[in-house]
Structure 1
Amino acid sequence: MMRGTAKVLGACAAAAMLALTTPGTAQAAQGVLFIDRAPHQDPSGCYPLGDFAPSEVANFTDEVAFVWSGPSCDGRVTHPVLPGQVTVAHGRSIFIQ
């Protein structure tokens, strides 16, 4: 009986410790990323760009955005868009942390 009680108490203690720990949060860029004048507040991840015409990108965030040649942020990086930069993006998608 003591062995079973110890196992139950150990499991409860482990569960309590897991419940009290907070997972790390992913950091999104702070600010606004405009893609063809559409605002994306505190963006994070991959966004599609125009399929046939270059897109206008305005990066008013605190992170560098990277234009990719592929549609799902795949292929190769064609160029970075620095914070505060407005550019015409010749690519299919853009990624920002």
Structure 2
Amino acid sequence: MRQLCKALGAVALAAVVGVAVPGSAQAATGDLKVGFTTYHNPHGCYESEIFPLIVGNQTDQVANVYDRPGCQGPVAGQVKRGESKTFEFGASVRIQ
């Protein structure tokens, strides 16, 4: 009886841990335009080839715009779903 309880406890713990661990990140669905380049189903950090930085977000996620390349430094602003914005000091965009 004691071993049965331990076995059931282990199974229950495994089930809880399996549900609690988040799944892997998925790309946004749609198109993200950074400068003159359009990314389909983007995920990660993108830098612009032009200044000021122009971002068009036609995805299902919010895009964060950073002051520095490589999505470093402070967030200069956000581009919500369906929006397009221009950033005088933006250098890179992250979408998840």
Q: TM-score, structure 1 length as denominator?
A: 0.69
Q: How much does 1:88 deviate?
A: 0.7
What SS does the corresponding residue of 2:42 show, helix, strand or coil? coil
The Cα offsets for residues 3-59 of structure 1, whole Å up to 9 and x where unpaired, read as xxxxxxxxxxxxxxxxxxxxx4421100000112321000000001246x2122110
Unaligned runs of 5+ in 2: 1-22
- 2:94 is aligned with what amino acid? F
Aligned to 2:75: 77
Which residue number corresponds to residue 66 of structure 2? Answer: 68
**Range with bigger deviation, 35-44 or 63-72:** 35-44
- Cα distance in 2 for partners of 1:73, 1:54 equals 16
Give me the whole-angstrom Cα distance separating, in 2, the residues matched to 1:34 and 1:76.
Answer: 21
Alpha-carbon RMSD across the aligned residues, in angstroms, is 1.4
Please report the TM-score for the alignment, with normalisation by the length of structure 2.
0.69
Specify the alignment match of 1:21 in structure 2.
none
Aligned residues: 73
Q: Once the two structures are aligned, what percentage of the paired residues are identical? A: 40
Q: Which runs of 5+ in 1 are unaligned?
A: 1-23
8 A contact 2:34–2:93 mirrored in 1: no
- Which protein is bigger by CA-based radius of gyration? 1
Greater fraction of residues in strand? 2
